[in-house]
Amino acid sequence: MAEKKYEVDVSGFKLSVLTPAVVIESNTEKLVAFIRDRVKDYSPEKYAGDADAAKKDRADLNKGAEQVKAVRQQIQGLNPYGSVIEQLADAEKLIKSGADALGNIVKARQQEEQDAKRRLIEAEFASRKFDLFKLEKIFDKRWLNKTYKMTDITAEITAAIDRTYRDLKTIEDFAGADADVLKAHYLISLDIGETMDYGEELRKKQELAAKEEQERAEREHAEQITAQEKELAAEVKDYSKRQAVMGLAAGALGDDAPAAEKREYTLTVGVTEPQLMAIKNFLSQQDIEFECQELVF
């Protein structure tokens, strides 16, 4: 196997790996010692919150780690004892640890910037004096990206508010008696299409409920009439018996038989106006006095 030499410059230290057929020679031990000492220069406290510098140096460290990784992958398996591979892996870890520490500074700065931008967005939304829904309802996480301009965010907030007013007017124009219900539903979903579908489903359910109510009323009416007919039949039978007894008594007493007793009754009925006229006519024909008063609930 021909000799092959791998070289990489990591943070000012030049790594050299020579790979003949059997033996691998390298200065990786010196590299690890150099990196262990060099990483100290990237300690987060030395940046004093300078996120820009931390971001630049983190990029350099990550690049160095990738270079070491590339060499390690190229010679993977060539060293019977694996010492060079292990040393290169240690070098990667040291560099990555330094990069990760600086990453915390970068993340902290990014969070501060995003928090400040969110406060601007919240102030912009509050200035609209709009309370039909909260900002979170339309908030887009992409707004917090540096590349997203406040002018574009302002335009999107305006569009969302204008769209809401238009959709509510559409619901008022087409939803009829269910407008309030559908507007409340819309303010949850902010989706006019889904809301109109919900309205159609609601209408179908209302029709089914009305049909069931009518059928139930007719069924209960029929059951009530049947019960009344049975009760009346029993009363007629009882009355006939009493009449027979009274007839016998009257025959025995002659002119001294007592006259039929007149009693007053209150009868509550649910009828239509034509049915009421028929009842009054029947009572009049039977020479029965009555008073009629409509019950209002």
196 with 206: CB under 8 angstroms? no
Residue 234 lies in a domain: yes
Give dist(CA 176, CA 170) in Å, integer: 11
Residue 265 predicted with pLDDT over 50: yes
Q: What are the tens digits of pLDDT across the range 282-294? A: 989 988 888 888 8
The DSSP call for residue 48 is T
Domain count within the chain: 2
Residue 249 lies in a domain: no
Tell me: do 97 and 42 sit in the same domain: yes
Residue 3 predicted with pLDDT over 80: no
Residue 246 lies in a domain: no
Residue 268 lies in a domain: no
Tell me: do 45 and 70 sit in the same domain: yes
Q: What are the tens digits of pLDDT across the range 158-216? A: 999 999 999 999 999 988 889 999 999 999 999 999 999 999 999 999 999 999 999 99
Domain endpoint, select from 83, 115, 147: 115
Residue 294 lies in a domain: no
Tell me: do 142 and 183 sit in the same domain: yes
Give dist(CA 104, CA 112) in Å, integer: 12
Mean pLDDT over 94-106 rounds to: 78
User: Which pLDDT band holds residue 71 (cuts at 50, 70, 90)?
Assistant: confident
User: Whole domain around residue 56: which residue ranges?
Assistant: 4-115
